[in-house]
Structures are given as structure tokens and as C-alpha cells.
Amino acid sequence: MHQVASSSSEQYERARQTVATFLGAAADEIVFTRGATESLNLLAQGLASSIEAGEGLVVTRLEHHSNILPWQRLCMSRGAHLHWLEVEASTGNLDLVQLRALLASGGVRLVAVTGLSNVLGIMPQVAEVIRLAHEAGAWVVVDAAQLVAHAPIDVRALDCDALVLSGHKLYGPTGIGVLYARRDLLRQLEPWQVGGGMVQTVTETSFTPLAAPAGLEAGTPPIAEAVGLAAAIHWLSQIGWGALLAHEASLMTALEEAVRSLGHVQVLGPKLSSHRRGCLSFTADDVHPHDLSQLLGDQGVCVRAGHHCAQPLHAALGVTGSVRASVCVGTTQEDVETFRRITADVLLHWRRRLA
């Protein structure tokens, strides 16, 4: 093999080891994908043939569409039931009484739960969900797309069966994601894409796939993206979780105070600011979320408006959309104050025009 080609392969495999170490996994339990969405689709399609008609899958009310639709489609194609695990409005906690009842009714094969809500900024009781699901013999897949930049993850300590993330949520490039799955589960997955790179032998009538992870990575791998993701992980590790979490906790307290101080706004989810990480979402009386985000954008304040790919959650909260404000490593207390000042000003002018 040419030196350049072997160096690329080495760097790609080194990136896999970096991700594995970051998550507390082994390198052969890490599959590179295009993002969390692709990871979840790979998992759902790879498991499809193990799900029988009449069995159940559970998704929570907090989920991003990417951790709903693959399971919804799997249930439709296999004649399985999709159950919704509800959230207690006042605390944002998942209803574990309901989960126990669902698991006790039998036939639940998998629970899909987010590690951190991309709307409410709260972390559901994932460890407890995993414990209960395992007692009932069900797998648990954790959507860590939002969590990964806001809390350290150790898949062994968490004891999840699978976990997904996206590179761009971790200060890395777009177009790269990760599927972690326990080795024995990964080996059970049927390749969802076939072609070059994933195969051992090919004849005119059949083929033998390579073992995972290679067997689940058809086509030319995302080498540059994987190396970029590893670089982001090294960068984040240099900052360290202690500094990062302390920085973010003080920003989130300030952000929540800032939003609540605006008046005539409702922060979605529970009232306890200490439970939030990374983002919070709110609605403002008399102003559509898209109008507010547009007006803020005109002033250089970047927020996101809409359902944030979580329509079932917004429907349960009785709203069609919200405005989401986020913090990250680079956010400062001055940024939060600027956000508060400009948002207060924009709302004042809007309401004066309406009056």
C-alpha cells in the first residue's frame, strides 16, 4: 500500500480509538457514520429482523425526531408497538411508574432515550431507565447528540447498550457521527448498506461481510471528518470537564435569570435552573418564535426558533414552537447580558407597536 494510503487508514483508526477512549468503549465498538441520525437509522435497520410482531419499543416524549422516526418506522414495518414514555411537566422527569408498567406488561425490546433534551436542556433519569429496562431484558439506546458536549460519558459505567452522537455537536466537523454499541449487540446488526469496504469475499451470487465495525461502514470512509472529530475531542479534553461544567453552570443560571426577567415569557419545562445544561427554550406572549428570532438575528443575537425537531414534545407542552437560547465553551457572561438587553429591547418595541 502507498504510504499516503496507509497513513490515512492509520489516522482513521486512531480517530476511532480516540472516540472509544473518550466514551470509555473499545475501538471495535465504534462505528463511524454521517451523524447521530444516520447512527440511529443504522441501529434500527440493523435490529429490524430481531423485532417480532406484537413486541414493543419505547421512546420518550423528550426525543428529537431522529430518535423517534427510525423506531416508528421499524414498528410499522415489523408490526410492533411504539409506546410513548411521558414527562412530568413540573419536574421534567420521565414517568418511571409508567415505564415500570410498560416493562411489566412484557414484550418491550428496546427503550430509546435522550441523554439531554435539545429543547428543555434537562437530563432525564437515563441510569434508572437503563436499570429498569435491563431488569426486563430490554436494550437501551441513548441519544447523546446533545449531551456529548455538556457532560462526560462513560458507556461502561452507564451500562447502555448503544449510544449515538454527532461530530458537529462536539465542536467537530459536520458529516461525521458515531454509533457505539456493546460488542455483542454490534455483531448482531445486519449491515444496512452494502458495497465496498465492508466485505470479505464476493462471488457472483453472495457475499460475506466483514465483522463490525468495518462491516457496518460501507463505502469510502469519512477520513477527514473522523480525524477532525478526534482533534475536537483532544481540544475539549485539554480544557477539561471540570472547567467546562463550571463555566456552563454559571452561564445557564445567568441565562435562565435573564429570560425569566424579561416578563411575559414562559420557560419550557421545569423551574429548577440547576437541572439545565446547554440550552433553554421559551415562548413570549404576543410574539411568534420566528418573529422574535428574526428580530434578534437582525441585532446579531443568534437563537433558534421552531419545534427544534421535537414536535411531539412541543405538542405535549401545548405550543407549536419556541425560541431556544444556547451556551457553549465560547459563550461569556457578557454574551448573556447582551442577549438579555437586546431581547428586552426587541420585546418592548414589538409590544409598543401592538398596543
Ligand X SMILES: Cc1ncc(COP(=O)(O)O)c(C=O)c1O
Q: Which residues are catalytic?
A: 309
For ligand X, the closer of residues 20 and 229 by Cβ is 229
Report in angstroms how near the CB of residue 146 gets to ligand X at its nearest. 4
CA pseudo-torsion sign 202, 222, 226, 143: negative
- Are 62 and 87 in contact, with CB atoms under 8 Å apart? yes
Binds ligand X (CB under 6 A): choice among 60, 146, 293, 331: 146
66 binds ligand X (CB under 6 A): yes
41 binds ligand X (CB under 6 A): no
Binds ligand X (CB under 6 A): choice among 19, 31, 37, 150: 37
Binds ligand X (CB under 6 A): choice among 29, 55, 143, 217: 143
N-terminal to C-terminal alpha carbon distance within the chain: 73
Residues 6+ apart with CB under 8 A from 205: none
Report in angstroms how near the CB of residue 164 gets to ligand X at its nearest. 7
Which residues ranging from 90 to 129 are in contact with ligand X (CB under 6 A)? Answer: 114, 118
Stretch of 77-85, 142-150, 213-221, 326-334 contacting ligand X, by CB under 6 A: 142-150
d(CA 84, CA 102): 10
For ligand X, the closer of residues 181 and 347 by Cβ is 181
Report in angstroms how near the CB of residue 1 gets to ligand X at its nearest. 32
Which residues ranging from 67 to 86 are in contact with ligand X (CB under 6 A)? Answer: 67
For ligand X, the closer of residues 55 and 248 by Cβ is 248
Would you report the helix, strand and coil content of the chain in percent, each value rounded to 5? 50, 20, 35
Residues 217-247 as b/e (b if ≥16 CB within 10 A, e otherwise) read bbeebbeebbbbbbebbeebeeeeeeebeeb
Q: How many residues bind ligand X (CB under 6 A)?
A: 13
Which residues of 182-249 form beta strands (DSSP E)?
199-202, 207-209
For ligand X, the closer of residues 64 and 340 by Cβ is 64
145 binds ligand X (CB under 6 A): yes
Stretch of 32-40, 206-214, 327-335, 344-352 contacting ligand X, by CB under 6 A: 32-40
Report in angstroms how near the CB of residue 144 gets to ligand X at its nearest. 8
d(CA 195, CA 133): 35
Binds ligand X (CB under 6 A): choice among 12, 35, 43, 132: 35
Report in angstroms how near the CB of residue 346 gets to ligand X at its nearest. 25
Partners of 165 in beta bridges: 178
Q: Quick check: helix, strand or coil at residue 45?
A: helix
Nearest-5° Cα angle at 248, 226 to 124: 80
- DSSP codes of every residue in 121-162: -B---HHHHHHHHHHTT-EEEEE-TTGGGTS---HHHHT-SE
For ligand X, the closer of residues 67 and 331 by Cβ is 67
Binds ligand X (CB under 6 A): choice among 25, 31, 36, 232: 36
Question: Which residues lie near ligand X (CB under 6 A)?
Answer: 35-37, 64, 66-67, 114, 118, 143, 145-146, 166, 177
